[in-house]
Amino acid sequence: MEFDPDATALLVVDMQNGFCHEEGSLYAPASEKAIASVKEVIESARSASAQVIYTRDVHPPEQFAEAHYYDEFERWGEHVLEGSWEAEIVEELEPHEGDHVVEKHTYDAFYNTELEGWLRARGISDLLLCGTLANVCVFHTAGSAGLRDFRPVVIEDALGYIEESHLKYAVEHSNWLFGEAVRKDEIGFEGQGN
């Protein structure tokens, strides 16, 4: 599967200390294990001059104080608080100059962020998605991308998850509902010869 690097962005979802480091409050071993695969995909995208975008899940401490229904702290406990070590992207995947970082406050990286306008202004129509958690922020962001007429392609072997069944669900439903699921070795970029 070949992608035009000028029209494609790699979206690295929430590879942060709070989720991927063993001292993080929502640490999942599979999220830490995904770091190596995500790094490989990032390096491939960079070598093709495709845009790399990171999302950071960040919560102000008072975000859910007056919530009617949507309260992530009630569901998950306090996590990735604004300004905390947990909210930082893991050291192994530190963004480079020219990468774009999107701060989000919900599962969906498009909700109340500049992401859609940023992509459209640059003529990006295809999104490769990797990161964590497969069935939460990756899944919701991929679905939201599809609804906005971007082509979401989930990289199934570069995803973090809590349980294997969550990964299976996210990949199958992403593929069925709104996009495609591929393995990282099935991705190529035009002009790269890979």
Q: Which of 20, 126, 130, 137 is catalytic?
A: 137
For 148, the token pair is 């906005």
What is the dihedral angle through the alpha carbons of 95, 113, 21, 46, rounded to the nearest 10 degrees? Answer: -30
104 part of the active site: yes
Q: Which of 99, 104, 108, 157 is catalytic?
A: 104
Q: Which residues lie closer than 8 Å to 128 by C-beta, 6 or more apart?
A: 3, 8, 9, 10, 11, 41, 45, 153, 155, 187
14 part of the active site: yes
Three-state secondary structure string covering 15-29? CEHHHHCCCCCCCCH
168 part of the active site: no
Q: Which of 14, 57, 99, 157 is catalytic?
A: 14
Catalytic machinery residues: 14, 104, 137
